[in-house]
Structure 1
Amino acid sequence: MKLWEIAHSRTGDKGNISNISLIVYDKSNFDLVLQKVTADKVKDWFGERVKGDVIRYELPQLGALNFVLYDALEGGVTSASTLDKHGKSMSSYLLMMEL
C-alpha cells in the first residue's frame, strides 16, 4: 500500500529547511503511519536530497505527523538553482512511500 492511499500531505519551507505535514484521512490509520513513517525512514526515502537531520513531531489529536527536514532545499529560494526551490513536490514524493 502506498502512503497516498491513507494520507495527504502539505509542504512548506523556511530557507533551506523543508517542513512536511502528513495527515491521515481516517484516524484509525494513524497508529500504522506512526509505526511505519519514522524520521529515519523519511531521511532514507529522500536519500541525498536531505543532507541534514529529519525530526518528526506527532500530533495524534489531528491524526498528523510533521517532519522537519534540515539542509533539504539546496540553499532555499534565494540560493537554489533547482526548478522546485520551495520543495513543494517533496510532499508528493513522500506520499509515494510504500507502507
Structure 2
Amino acid sequence: MTDVLLHELAHARPGDKGDTSILSVFPLDDADYEWLCEVLTVERVVEHLGEHLRGHVTRYEVPLVQGVQLVCQHALDGGVTTSLAVDTHGKALSSRLLAMRVPAPAR
C-alpha cells in the first residue's frame, strides 16, 4: 500500500477557543470519508503532532458533513490573548496535520 500526504486527499479548517485548537478535516472526495475515518485516529494525530500538543485530543466523526473533527486541548500555548507564540490561532497546526503521511485509500 502506498502512503500519501493527507493534504493530497483532504483539506482542513482550524478553529480555536482559548487554549483549545479545533481541527476539522474533510476529504476532497466524499467517497473517501470512510477512509478518512479509518486513517485519522487520535493515536496517529498525537504521534504526528506530539510536540505541539500538551493535552488530550478528542475525535468526532461528523458524517452529515463528511468530516472528522479533532479537539486538541492545551495546544495553543495559552491561547490568543495570553501567548507569545507565533501562531496562537492554530492555523499552522492544521497545516502540520495535513503534512501527515497516511496509507492511500484502496480504489
Tell me the TM-score normalised to structure 2 length. Answer: 0.88
Give the one of 84, 88, 94 matched to 1:85.
88
RMSD: 0.9
Question: Unaligned 5+ residue runs, structure 1?
Answer: none
Hey, what does 2:105 align to over in structure 1? none
User: Is residue 40–residue 54 contact of structure 1 (8 Å, CA) maintained in 2?
Assistant: no
Q: What's the % identity of the aligned pairs?
A: 38
Hey, what does 2:39 align to over in structure 1? 36
Hey, what does 2:10 align to over in structure 1? 7
Secondary structure of residue in 1 paired with 2:101: coil
User: Is residue 10–residue 91 contact of structure 1 (8 Å, CA) maintained in 2?
Assistant: yes
State how many pairs are aligned. Answer: 99
In the TM superposition, residue 78 of structure 1 has moved relative to its aligned partner by 1.4
Q: Which has the larger radius of gyration?
A: 2
How do 1:40-59 residues align onto structure 2 when only pairs under 5 Å count? 40-59=43-62
In the TM superposition, residue 26 of structure 1 has moved relative to its aligned partner by 0.8
Hey, what does 2:100 align to over in structure 1? 97
Question: Unaligned 5+ residue runs, structure 2?
Answer: 103-107
Hey, what does 1:25 align to over in structure 2? 28
Give a deviation string over 1:27-84, Cα, whole Å, max 9, x none.
1111111111101211121112111110011012321001000010010011111111
The amino acid of 2:72's aligned partner reads L
User: Is residue 77–residue 85 contact of structure 1 (8 Å, CA) maintained in 2?
Assistant: yes
